[in-house]
Amino acid sequence: MEKLVDPKLLEVSREEARYGASIKSAIAYIDEHLHESISMKQVAERLHLNASYFSVLFKGETGVTFSDYVTLSRLQRAKELLVATRMPIWEIAEKVGYQTDKYFAKVFKDNVGISPGQYRQQALHSDPSIQ
């Protein structure tokens, strides 16, 4: 399963114990609302922080920008769904917060290097225990 996890995201989760309460709350909120539109301003307001301050705080503690973290989290969840389900790609795109499957496929390919369909095929062929 670890080979499915993005290295940057894995590093962020390993360091999570050292994060302050605000960043832990932000990460929990992001994880719970991946399927929705999430803005930095929205999360900062929930935490009663200025958006600019929150941006600097998030990057300083996690090492990645807020938007990169959201993208990496969405792609990670998409990878899990691609491997663990037979759900159509358009539905996976919707479940991880993308408005269109075309944009999802573009973001996926830009970050992973292959299309979601190719990723699913490679994952299924490389590990026969995945169904």
pLDDT at 129 exceeding the cut of 50: no
Asked if residue 83 lies in contact with residue 77, where contact means CB atoms within 8 angstroms, the answer is no
- State the Cα–Cα distance between residues 7 and 120, nearest whole angstrom: 19
Residue recorded with tokens 């769904």: 81
Assess if CATH 1.10.10.60 describes domain 74-126: yes
pTM (2 d.p.): 0.82
Residues 38-88: tens digit of each pLDDT = 999 999 999 999 999 999 999 999 999 999 999 999 999 999 999 999 999
Output phi, psi for 24, to 5 deg: -60, -45
Fold of the domain built from segment(s) 2-70? Arc Repressor Mutant, subunit A (1.10.10)
Tokens encoding 113: 């290097």
- Report phi then psi at 33, rounded to 5: -120, 25
Q: Domain ranges for the chain, please list them.
A: 2-70, 74-126
Among 26, 35, 55, residue whose Cα is nearest residue 98 = 35
Higher pLDDT: 5 or 99? It is: 99
